[in-house]
Homo-oligomer: A and B are copies of this chain.
Amino acid sequence: MVKNVADDSALKSEQTAMNAITIDCVIFGFDKGSLEVLLVQHGEGISKGKWGLPGGWIYKKESTDNAAHRLLNELTGLDNIYLEQLKAFGDPDRFPLRRVITIGYYALVKREDYNIKAGFTASDAQWYKINSIPDLIYDHNEILAYSLKHLRNRVRQAPIGFNLLPEKFTLLQLMHLYEEVLGIEMDKSNFRRKILHMKLLVELDEKQQDVSHRAAKLYKFDPAIYKKLTEKGFNFEF
Query: What residues make up the interface of A, taking CB atoms closer than 8 Å to B?
Result: 18-21, 58, 60-65, 67, 85-88, 90-92, 99, 101, 103, 153, 156-157, 232-235, 237
Contacts and interface: CB of A to CB of B under 8 A. Distances in A.
A209 to B, nearest CB: 37
Given A21-B21, A63-B92, A157-B157, 12 more contacts: A18-B20, A20-B21, A21-B101, A61-B99, A64-B88, A64-B101, A87-B87, A90-B103, A156-B233, A157-B233, A157-B235, A233-B235
A65 B90 contact: yes
Given A157-B235, A235-B233, A235-B234, A88 B85 contact: yes
A63 B91 contact: yes
A99 B59 CA distance: 10
A61 B235 contact: no
A87 B90 contact: no
A61 B92 contact: yes
Contacts of A86: 87
Contacts of A87: 85-88
Given A18-B20, A85-B87, A87-B88, A60 B235 contact: no
A102 B111 CA distance: 33
A108 B65 CA distance: 28
A58 B21 CA distance: 12
23 contacts: A18-B20, A19-B20, A21-B21, A21-B101, A58-B90, A60-B92, A61-B92, A61-B99, A62-B92, A63-B91, A64-B88, A64-B101, A65-B90, A67-B90, A85-B87, A87-B87, A88-B103, A101-B103, A156-B233, A157-B235, A232-B235, A232-B237, A234-B235
A1 B29 CA distance: 49
User: Among A65, A88, A92, A234, which residue has the most Cβ atoms of chain B within 10 A?
Assistant: A88
Nearest to A67: B90
Nearest to A94: B63
Nearest to A101: B21
A11 B11 CA distance: 24
